[in-house]
Amino acid sequence: MKSPPVRRFSTAMLAVVSWCVAFLGVPISLAAEETDAVVAKVGDQPVYLSEIARSLESVASDRQFPAQIRSRLEAEVLEQLVRRRLVEELLLHTKKLVDSPTVDAQLQQLDEKLAAQDRKLSDVLAKRDVTLDQYRRELRWELSWQKFVADTLTDEQLKDYFQQHRRHFDGSQVRASHILLRPIQPSNPRQIAQTIGRARQLREEITSGKVTFAEAAKKYSDGPSGAAGGDLGFIPRHGVMVEAFSRAAFDLEPDEVSQPVLTQFGIHLIQVTEVKSGGQTWQQARAELRAEAAKELFQQLAESQREKTTVVYTGNCPYIEQESGRLVLPSGESH
């Protein structure tokens, strides 16, 4: 399985969520009378506003967010749901969706499990504000995708994916330096965009040789490591830095400077100066390897199917314009 660069929704989403959690704002909530509105159509399949609400609740729980960030989150969730509809359509056309008896069997097992706990499926669904038909669709999707991944991602493909992304999975460590730029108003999208622009200009100065990374860090970084030229020492792939930062760092070759990376701490430019290779094999990293390869497979399939399927956004929810990446707000709404 080839692995071209793709947009990683989960990473971007978690980075934005992490950013927002640091600040108080308005809660994510959608009025009850609006929850049946169609926000997009993928072919002849609608995506509903209520799905956005449920997805946000599962990701963000009871967190509160500024209105500007909430709009971005809603648009990111909508894009993920659109991609899922696209993949569902592909699975339908290739006869990879599981049949109704398979879904019925799973529902029966769940019924029996809940009954043993003196609970009812209808009560569980009512508490989640989900109908049985909605749950059946969710279950069919989950079962179909799990089966497709199991059938598609062979050991040979996992091994190949490991070779392409070895540093992310073999226990390697990288010595990273960073320049941290903090927006003056962290909850203001315009301030965030301006800070990203500053970071891009600074990156150009570094890559053109006008200034070294260490010199720029000492002069411009808002982080405590600035005095040391931005040096953070060696970091592992997981457990020390936030995911958006770690992913970007481990994608870099020595002395390469990253594009601006957004985390809850601000905007980062990252440089890797040294790599300590790890010794973990692809078999030892199988579970994590499969999860990451499945994410990338999902993205590839969705983008491929988008070329064959008409996607229409109704404007009832913020959405991301595909050509420009611009956030489009509902008519009459502004931040």
* CATH 3.10.50.40 describes domain 173-276: yes
pLDDT band at 287 (very low <50, low <70, confident <90, very high): very high
**More confident of the two residues 58 and 239:** 239
Q: What is the mean pLDDT of residues 15-39?
A: 44
Does 9-160+288-328 match 173-276 in CATH topology? no
Rounded to whole angstroms, the Cα distance separating 109 from 103 reads: 10
Higher-pLDDT residue of 325, 290: 290
CB atoms within 10 A of CB 197: 12
The model's confidence at residue 322, banded by pLDDT at 50, 70 and 90, is confident
Using alpha carbons, select from 227, 261, 230 the residue that is nearest to residue 244: 261
State the pLDDT confidence band at 184, using cuts at 50, 70 and 90: confident
Higher pLDDT, 36 or 307: 307
pLDDT of residue 65: 63
- Predicted pLDDT at 264: 82
Is it the case that residue 310 has pLDDT exceeding 70?
A: yes
- pLDDT tens by residue, 106-129: 999 999 999 999 999 999 999 888
Structure tokens at 201: 């200009």
Average pLDDT over residues 86-105: 95
Given this model, what pLDDT does residue 128 score? 82
Mean of the pLDDT values across residues 223-245?
94
Which whole number is the average pLDDT over 148-157? 94
pLDDT of residue 186: 72
Q: What is the pLDDT of residue 24?
A: 28
Portion of the chain with pLDDT greater than 70, in percent? 84
Give residue for tokens 């660069």.
5
**What pLDDT score does 36 carry?**
76
CA 69 to chain centre: 15
Confidence class of residue 31 from pLDDT cuts 50, 70 and 90? very low
**pLDDT tens per residue across span 63-83:** 666 666 778 888 889 999 999
Closest alpha carbon to 189 in 1, 16, 4: 16
Domains in the chain: boundaries: 9-160+288-328, 173-276
Task: Quote the CA–CA distance of 189 and 290 in Å, as a whole number.
Answer: 35
Q: pLDDT-derived band of residue 291, with 50, 70 and 90 as boundaries?
A: very high
Least confident of 2-11, 114-123, 258-267, 302-311: 2-11
Contacts of 189 (CB under 8 A, 6+ apart): 68, 69, 72, 335
Mean pLDDT score, 245-273: 94
Both tokens of 45, joined, read 């399949």
How far apart (Å, rounded) are the C-alpha atoms in residues 123 and 187?
A: 39
At residue 61, does pLDDT exceed 60?
A: no
Q: Is the pLDDT of residue 305 over 90?
A: yes
C-alpha 246, offset from chain centre? 14
Predicted TM-score of the model (pTM): 0.73
* pLDDT reported for residue 140: 95
pLDDT per position as a tens digit, 205-227: 999 999 999 999 999 999 999 99
- Joined together, the tokens standing for residue 64 give 């509160």
Q: Please say whether the structural domain 9-160+288-328 has been given the CATH code 1.25.40.
A: no
* Mean pLDDT, rounded, for 157-185: 94
Give the integer Cα–Cα distance in Å for 250 and 282.
17
d(C-alpha 249, C-alpha 114), whole Å: 45
For residue 19, pLDDT over 60 is answered with no
Buried b / exposed e over 114-138, threshold 16 CB at 10 Å, is eeeeeeeeeeeeeeeeeeeebbeee
Q: Is the pLDDT of residue 33 over 70?
A: no
